[in-house]
Every structure is written in C-alpha cells, then in structure tokens.
Amino acid sequence: MSIKLSELAEKINCRLQGDDCLIDNVADINEAEQGQLAFIYNSKYLDKLATTNASAVILKEEWAAGCNRSVIVAENPRLAFVKAARLLNPEKRYQPGISGRAEVATDVTVPGSVYIGPNVVIESGVKLGDGVQILANSVISSDVIIGDNTVIHPGVTIGHSTQIGKNCIIYAGAVIGADGFGYQREGDHYLKIPQLGNVRIGDDVEIGANSTVDRGALRDTVINDGVKLDNQIQIGHNVVIGKHTVMSGQSGIAGSTIVGEYCLIGGGVGISDNIEVVDNVTINGRTLVTSSIKEPGTYASSMLADTVKNWRKNALRFRHLNEMEKRLKALEKKLESE
C-alpha cells in the first residue's frame, strides 16, 4: 500500500518537515530506495543521511535541521518507525469461513466473522469470539474459550478448558495446556500427579513458535495481559507471569514461580521453581535464577566468553575458592593477633 508522508506523520502523531511524497514501505537506512521510509535512532548513524536513497527519514528534532530530504520529526524515532511499519504492513487476515476439511463439533457455534482453516479440529464445548482466526492443522480441545480477534497459527495444540483472551497471537507449533511435569516417587518407579489446573491467558498476549505453557497441577497457570513470549519458551505448571513482561527465546520458568509485571527476561534464562520475581526486573541472557528476586533492577550470572585456555584456568581457580577463602581468613586472623 502507498500513503502520503503527511498523512502517515499525522497518523503516528509526528510532524512533517519538508516536501510531501508517497511512501510505499519502510526499510533499513542502508538499503532503502525511493518510496521508502527509514529512521535513525542514534546520532552516530547520522552520516548515513548523506548516502541513503530513502525518500524520507524519521529523526529527532535536533537532527532534522539542514537534512536534504523529507523528515518525520519524532521524539522517539524507533517508536515512530514501528508505528509507521505497522500501518504500512497490516497483519494478514483470512476471509471468514470454515474449510471443508475442518472438523468442528456440532455443538460449537462459529461466528460469521471467524476463519477456520483446513485440517483444524475443534472439539465439543469450545467458544469462539468474533474475528478469531484458526489456521491449518491446529487442534482446539474441549471447552476451550478463545477471545475476539485472536489468531492461532498453523499446528498449534490447545489443551482442554484453556482460556485465551482477546487480540492474542499464538504462533506455529505452540502447545498450550499440556500436562505439567509432576511425579511422585514410589519405590522404584514414579506416579504421575494429575494436573487438575487450567491455563488462563489474558488479552494482547503473544506466544512464540514451539513454545509450551503447561496447565496447572492444582491451581491455574496464568499469563496476564500484554505478556510477550519469544520462540521455544517453557512455562511450567502453576507459573504466574505479570502484565507486560517480555521473555526472549529458550528461556524457561519452572513450576509455581511468580514473575512480576514489566520484567525483561533475556534469552536462555533459567528460573527455578517456587520462587518470586518482583515487578520491573531485568534478567540478562543465560542467567540462572535459583532464589527470589525481591528488588527491582538488573541481574546477571553468566560467565563471559574467553579463550579456552583462560576459561580452563579460571574454572580450576573457581573450584579452589572455598579453600582460598579459609586460608585468607586464617591469614587475616593471624595478622590481627600480631
């Protein structure tokens, strides 16, 4: 789609400086062509203005003076660029209807605005909101509730009685509401603990491809409004994630842990079971969290990459830290007594 730059600026609550023009799409400033809109968010990239072929650029007020092309002036260029990109690239929506190859239980009422793709299975008792889109090969088990305008991508499996809010996106291969990992040892074998809880997902939640959210054991697993989960994430049974928390790929939260609101969790983070993380916590990638975090802030535990030679030396020294501490304390005590 094409839009006048002036109209685009108005829609994203910014100001146009320079000539109006037609914009077809957004692009990286290094690769942008005529008809495309780019942005600069850091002053160290301002030299790109001399070489870019973009028809227009999003800049801060203090960078816009003397620019030789049209500018959208924004307090936050990155945010303005995201809004422009969303306007120019609306999400694909399928025309309402039910594929002849779908299998929908007879007691399920399908609103006229809903799309159900080929090979979708929808079991008894399911309730679908207006504008729901369920793409090919997904399985919606019995008594699931899906809110208005939620999109279920191909190959998603949703376990029985799961509740999903409005305007959510569940990406391909995700499994929501499988049994949690619960066993009790009896002699030489394990007894499976019945997983009697549910999964409740709020509004505006996104769950990435091949991620899993387990149902609760006795109480529900809860993903609150605005949470964004990347690909390949594991959420254990009874976990509660607060509003607008974001998790990067390959991270996992073990059972019965509570994570607060507006937390940022990096890639490959492991969070142990039965602990609590307060609101507004940032956890850097590859961090292992084994006890509750009670104060907002940024936390990390990863060992930085080094040459194998140095890493081995440091690892060997680490093994002797306890012994070294005892020797140091003994030496300090001896010096104090002299």
> Is the domain of 105 the same as that of 146?
yes
> Is the domain of 60 the same as that of 173?
no
How high is the pLDDT of residue 212? 98
Give the residue from 88, 112, 139 where a domain finishes. 88
Token duo for residue 150 = 């939620």
Domain range for 325: 308-337
- From first to last of its 338 residues, what are the pLDDT tens digits of the chain? 789 999 999 999 999 999 999 999 999 999 999 999 999 999 999 999 999 999 999 999 999 987 889 999 999 999 999 999 999 999 999 999 999 999 999 999 999 999 999 999 999 999 999 999 999 999 999 999 999 999 999 999 999 999 999 999 999 999 999 999 999 999 999 999 999 999 999 999 999 999 999 999 999 999 999 999 999 999 999 999 999 999 999 999 999 999 999 999 999 999 999 999 999 999 999 999 999 999 999 999 987 889 999 999 988 888 898 998 999 999 998 888 87
Annotated catalytic residue 237: yes
Report the DSSP beta bridge partners of residue 297: 281
Catalytic residue among 160, 189, 237, 320: 237
> Is the domain of 316 the same as that of 290?
no
> Is the domain of 73 the same as that of 186?
no
Q: pTM for the full model?
A: 0.91
Biggest CA-to-CA distance, the chain: 91
Please count the structural domains in the chain.
Answer: 3
> Is the domain of 222 the same as that of 202?
yes
CB 300 within 8 A of CB 263: no
Token duo for residue 283 = 């956890």
Q: What is the CATH number for 251?
A: 2.160.10.10
Separation of alpha carbons 234 and 248, rounded Å = 11
> Is the domain of 102 the same as that of 60?
no
